[in-house]
Amino acid sequence: SCINMIRFILIQNRAGKTRLAKWYMQFDDDEKQKLIEEVHAVVTVRDAKHTNFVEFRNFKIVYRRYAGLYFCICVDVTDNNLAYLEAIHNFVEVLNEYFHNVCELDLVFNFYKVYTVVDEMFLAGEIRETSQTKVIQQLLMLQNLE
Amino acid sequence: MPTVSSRGDAMRGLAVFISDIRNCKSKEAESKRINKELANIRSKFKGDKTLDGYSKKKYVCKLLFIFLLGHDIDFGHMEAVNLLSSNKYTEKQIGYLFISVLVSSNSDLMKLIIQNIKNDISSPKPVHVNLALHCIANIGSVEMSEAFGQEVPKLLVSAHASASVKQSAALCLLRLIRTLPEAMTYAEWASRVIHLLNDQHMWLTAATSLIHTLSQLSPGDYKGCVSLAVSRLSRIVTSTYTDLQDYTYYFVPAPWLSVKLLRLLQCYPVPEEPAVRGRLVECLETILNKCQEPPKSKKVQHSNSKNAVLFEAINLIIHIDSEPNLLVRACNQLGQFLQHRETNLRYLALESMCLLAGSEFSADAVKKHRETVINALKTERDVSVRQRAVDLLYAMCDKTNSEEIVAEMLAYLKKADYAIREEMVLKVAILSEKYASDYTWYVDTILKLIRVAGDYVSEEVWHRVIQIVINRDDAQGYAAKTVFENLQAPACHENMVKVGGYILGEFGNLIAGDERSSPLVQFNLLHSKFHLCTPSTRALLLSTYIKFINLFPEIKPTIQNVLQNNNQLRNADVELQQRALEYSQLSSITSQDVLATVLEEMPPFPERESSILAKLKKKKPASVQVSLVGCFMCKDHATMSVLLNHIPVWVSLTPYLSPTFASVQVNYYIISTNASSNYTIVLFQQCLYMDAFDDVLTLPADLGESPSTESTEHANRPFMFKNSGVLFENALIQVGVKCEFKEQYGRVGLFFGNKTGNQLQNFAAAVSLGPEHQGKINVATQKEPPSQIDGGAQVQHFINLECISMFSGSPNLQLRYQHSSAPQQVTLKLPVIINKFMEGVDMNSGDFFSRWKQLGQPTQETQKIFQARHPIDTEAARTKLTGFGMCALTNVDPNPENLVGSGIIKTKTSQIGCLLRLEPNKQAKMYRLTVRSSVGEAAALICSMLEEHF
């Protein structure tokens, strides 16, 4: 099929704890758990000399490590690797600004806000908004609503 | 603990709870804390006091947190739905989040949720509209598509909606389309959606994704987007990084939008209007030029986003494939990346170059990088980069460089990662076959493959070398000599023994003149490996030995000794035992003439697509760009087909027999009594190696009198008990079938395989319902079957059916096609029989007999008493009954020899209950079969269908 879209976004720490899982395809709960474990196994064995892309089932994972956190996006094999690699970085910069130097604990305590950030930047398996300025403006506006 | 925001959305209780969980020292402590919290929340939700919105939000959020920790949540859904109708954004947001993450699409609450979404989507507050749109997009169910498929597009093109709402609406719509493409009318919105590309706001990444998908679904309606996309792209690539302000990322203007536009343009052929085309070419040149400019930043984000655009531009250049200048420039740019210090870039350059190797304009430019790529194979640390290097070497291989590339791949194979060895073996095998200028090189290469990576040499590979050697006179002598040499190695791989055994059995005589490879030496060499091999290889060697008896009568006694040895005759493996026995009999009772005819050299194999290539395609559908058809011409398969087409007795048995050697013997005797001895010989010879080649030698099943019209009136009887298999086969075509049935619905997958080397033309496959089936079965095909099938290819065709009411017999499938301009016509019975729509019903003895009595009217019962056609065996009968679709009930009938079953035939208009009782009389070898059903005809039908099967 020629559908190109994000299948899921995962943020995991080195120990394999999931800090965010956003699914853009229907998976049942067992399958999600399996995917989470497989992705962890696949990315944590790679080092800085490896590429940021790894084949995964019939898809590929574009991932980047920030301190102890792995940000992973699962896309179709023909999709643009570097565009998603930078989409991850763009997302991380937004999180960093929104949470003022984001750390893993921010994602734990504010998990319900992280979903809002994701939905502003990615929706329906596609990139939604790419401007950091626009996203931050919107998030601050929402933050001030009752 | 990080400071929790002090604004209106802070939930102190939640933060405390999360801290508590984090402080738990053990899993048990965590569970305890969670259970305490669940009890607390449950009591709050059940309490008399109505909770305020804040508390409800807090508790729902806690439940969500508990769910995300991996615990089941079975309450709180209603409270979450209540939050949706709150006027406060933060409460709504938590409600929607809970629903998106936790509520499954078949929830009872869905109607209520949809109503709430309807309210919010028409709210004057954009933030509420967005929450609703995001929820629709996140759930994305069929129900959502049906409820909002008409609403969402209106928002997208509304004059009043904000850019933020439009972004969400565009992607929400995209999700609904992917869920239910048929719920949308595409043409209606086309013009307005396309013109979003002119919007002055830069929210267009989302819109472009939508247009991309719409263009794939309905290219005609959306082709107007091409010129607008080109203009937009042109404005971006010619802008400076200061022009686009918010949308500039590390000095690169709108990289994601550029990538999306470039991908959109790959949906269409290159624009025809010279102005648009010229502008597009300019854009692509500009993107290539920018790569030569000094970087505006040393940050990797700068180069990554610039290169994201570049790689997509190169994809478009490859897609256009008619701008030689751009193709060569792209190749040169990628060539620079091959030596870049960034692993990502080296990887992507190898991957992209693989595509350039397929274009006639850039193929030569790619080949200039051969040295670098070979070097990458040797030095890259990341296996996935080496893998791409292998792919690229495979893609750039041609007659001039094949020997070097194959040699390098063979050298790398020795230390290659286990994960990619099998694929490499396939690639080496294909290249050496495709570019073999002389067959000594080909044979050497494959034997070396077996030596270096024997475990990874699949059946397809060693079968293929044998096929080729058999089909090529000029390769046979060399092959025999070389396998003989290879077999002399003290430790040789079992695959080498297989190839060696086969080839020497056929062509050992070609080297027998040399006393160093005399018949006895050959035999002793092979037999020295015999005991170390697995039974399947030993079975093959036994066939070699009987062939040796014919080739070398002087060593017949030695071989007979081996065949008659108790190790063989009393072997625990039935196959070996039987072969040894039959071969030894064959060699002692037949004259030398008969033996010579039976054991004659194998005829050439029919020309077909390489089975190796087929296997590689299966492994990596996208990466195979090399076609092999026609590389090796077969000399004489027509004769063989003709011979085989005249053996009706044997062939009529084929559906019941598996192609193992044991069954061949059965046929051998049947044919001796029924057909003339000529046919026997041909058949026997064909079958000798059938165990090893059952995928290659599929015997034709031409049952008809006239060669061009065939039918299979009775051939689908076995399908009464199974749902897949070969429905029909003759010398030209094989029709496989795989069906699924559920309630009154059926889906029949048909697989048409063209067995010839030529295209079958004017192909048509249509279901025809006779008067007896009109109105009783509904048939719908998803797509028209293709109108031709290429030589060696297999195509699929799916038919959906619905059983409206009870029917007898099966619908017909009419096949028509043209082969070598002769029209052919075949009528097949589809394996769609009334019992396919039957589901077994389990019940106890009391229920069974009370229903049995209820169905006591004479019209509701059919009874038959008949002679048993098969040995009376309750277990076998039970299996048949289950295969038929009924539930075989145990502990129901007081007599354990009797078999009782029950089932329901599900049709659209009615459900017909059926009960069955089968009573054997072992002394008389008779059965009494009684079927009762609420519909008398069903009882009669089932009785008549089943009686001949017991």
Q: Residues B369-413: pLDDT tens digits?
A: 999 999 999 999 998 999 999 999 999 999 999 999 999 999 999
My answer on whether B151 and B210 are in the same domain is yes
- pLDDT score of B688 more than 80: no
Helix (H) or strand (E) holding B90: helix B89-102
The rounded percent of chain B whose pLDDT value lies above 70 is 88
CATH of the domain at B765: 2.60.40.1230
Contact with chain A for residue B86, Cβ under 8 A: no
The candidate with the shortest Cα–Cα distance to B496, out of B471, B468, B533, is B533
- Are the beta carbons of A51 and B344 separated by less than 8 Å? yes
Look at residue B700 in the predicted model and tell me its pLDDT: 32
Q: What residue in A sits closest to B16 (Cα-Cα)?
A: A109
| pLDDT at site B795 | 84
B210 and B226 part of one domain: yes
* Same domain for B164 and B80: yes
Decide if B268 is inside a domain. Answer: yes
User: Is B69's pLDDT higher than 50?
Assistant: yes
Which pLDDT value is given to residue B338? Answer: 96
* CA distances for B313 relative to B264, B296, B875, angstroms: 11, 20, 66
> In chain A, which residue's Cα lies nearest the Cα of B138?
A124
pLDDT of residue B180: 87
Strand B822-829 and strand B709-711: the pairing is parallel
- Asked if pLDDT for residue B567 goes beyond 70, the answer is yes
CA atoms within 13 A on the CB side of B485: 9
Contact flag B384-A54 (C-beta cutoff 8 Å): yes
Domain's final residue, options B832, B855, B888: B832
pLDDT at B1: 43
Set of chain B residues whose Cβ sits within 8 Å of the Cβ of A106: 2
Residue B59 is inside which H or E element, if any? helix B53-68
Q: Is B697 a domain residue?
A: no
The pTM of this model reads 0.69
Domain assignment present for A1 = no
When mean pLDDT is compared across A65-74, A137-146, B643-652, B924-933, the lowest value belongs to B643-652
Q: State how far residue B409 is from chain A, nearest Cα, in angstroms.
A: 22
Q: Name which residue leads in pLDDT, B613 or B702.
A: B613
pLDDT above 60 (res B936):
yes
Please identify, among B571, B599, B627, the residue that sits at the C-terminal boundary of a domain. B599
pLDDT in tens, B822-850: 888 888 888 888 988 998 888 888 888 88
Please give the tally of structural domains in chain B.
4
Is B12 annotated to bind a ligand? Reply is yes
pLDDT tens per residue across span B399-456: 999 999 999 999 999 888 887 888 899 999 999 988 988 889 999 999 999 999 988 9
Residue in the structure block whose two tokens are 């046929």: B667
CB contact under 8 A, B344 and A116: no
Distance, CA of B706 to CA of B190 (rounded, Å): 55
Same domain, B899 and B857: yes
Does B779 lie in the same domain as B895? no
For B71-91, what is each residue's pLDDT tens digit? 999 999 999 999 999 999 999
CB within 8 A of B256, min separation 6: which ones? A83, A86, A87, A127, A130, B205, B249, B308
Which pLDDT value is given to residue B105?
65
Q: What is the pLDDT of residue B106?
A: 66
Tell me, yes or no, whether B253 lies in a domain: yes
Q: How far apart are CA B386 and CA B404, in angstroms?
A: 17
* pLDDT per residue as tens digits for the range B323-349: 999 999 999 999 999 999 999 999 999
The reply to whether B717 falls in a domain is: no
Can you tell me the mean pLDDT for B534-539? 93
Residue B733 backbone phi and psi in degrees, to 5: -140, 150
Name the residue facing A144 among B7, B164, B249 (closest C-beta): B7
Q: Which residues of B touch A31 (CB under 8 A)?
A: none
- Looking at CA atoms only, how far is residue A145 from chain B in angstroms? 6
> Has B60 been labeled as part of a binding site?
yes
Contacts of A55 in chain B (CB under 8 A): 384
Residue A1 scores a pLDDT above 70 = no
pLDDT value at B4 more than 60: no
Distance CA B86, CA B256 (A): 37
| High-pLDDT (> 90) share of chain B, % | 49
Reported as a pLDDT band with limits 50, 70 and 90, residue B620 is low
Q: Give A-chain residues touching B388 at CB under 8 angstroms.
A: none
Residues B787 and B906 in one domain: no
B9 touches chain A (CB under 8 A): yes
Looking from the CA of B687 toward its CB, the CA atoms found within 13 Å total 24
Is B786 a member of any domain? yes
pLDDT of residue A2: 58
Does A82 sit within 8 Å of B348, measured CB to CB?
Answer: yes
Looking up residue B128, the CATH number of its domain turns out to be 1.25.10.10
Residues of the domain holding A87: 6-145
Across the interface, whether the CB atoms of B8 and A144 are under 8 A apart is answered yes
- Weakest mean pLDDT among B175-179, B512-516, B711-715: B711-715
Q: Which range among B387-391, B485-489, B623-627, B715-719 shows the weakest confidence by mean pLDDT?
A: B623-627
Residue A141's CATH number: 3.30.450.60
- Least Cα separation, residue A115 to chain B (angstroms): 8
Q: Quickly count helices (H) and strands (E) in chain A.
A: 5, 7
Q: What is the ipTM of this complex?
A: 0.98
**Cα–Cα distance between A78 and B319 in angstroms, integer?**
13
Residue B672, pLDDT above cutoff 50:
no
pLDDT greater than 50 at residue B781: yes
What is the pLDDT at residue B9?
A: 52
pLDDT at B876 over 50: yes
- Chain A segment 9-68 residues within 8 A of B by beta carbon are 18, 46, 49-55
Does B143 contact A at CB distance below 8 Å? no
Buried b / exposed e across B724-749, counting CB within 10 Å, b at 16+?
Answer: eebbbbbbbbbbbbbbebeebebebe
Contact of B59 with chain A, judged by CB distance below 8 Å, is answered with: no
| pLDDT for residue B325 | 96
Separation CA B337–CA B346 (nearest Å): 6
Whether residue B249 is found in the same domain as residue B280: yes
Q: Does residue A136 belong to any structural domain of this protein?
A: yes
Q: Which structure tokens are listed for B697?
A: 């030698």
Q: Does A131 touch chain B (CB under 8 A)?
A: yes
A-chain residues near B168 (CB < 8 A) = 123, 128
Eight-class DSSP state of B608: -
Query: Average model confidence (pLDDT) for chain A?
Result: 95
* Res. B200 pLDDT band, cuts 50 70 90: confident
For the beta sheet containing A59-66, the strands, ordered from the edge strand earlier in sequence to the opposite edge, are: A18-23, A8-13, A69-76, A59-66, A53-56
Which of the residue ranges B51-60, B239-248, B565-574 would you say has the lowest mean pLDDT? B239-248
**What is the count of residue pairs from A and B with beta carbons less than 8 Å apart?**
157
CB neighbourhood size of B799 (10 A): 22
- Tally of structural domains, chain A: 1
Range of the domain at B750: 723-832
Q: Are B302 and B153 in a shared domain? A: yes
Query: Could A86 and B304 be called an inter-chain contact, meaning their C-beta atoms sit closer than 8 Å?
Result: yes
The answer for B 687-706 residues in CB contact with A (under 8 A) is: none
Residues B478 and B571 in one domain: yes
CA B264, CA B395: separation in Å to the nearest integer? 26
Average pLDDT over residues B210-214: 94
Provide the chain B residues 262-281 that lie in CB contact (below 8 A) with chain A.
263
What confidence score (pLDDT) does residue B859 get?
83
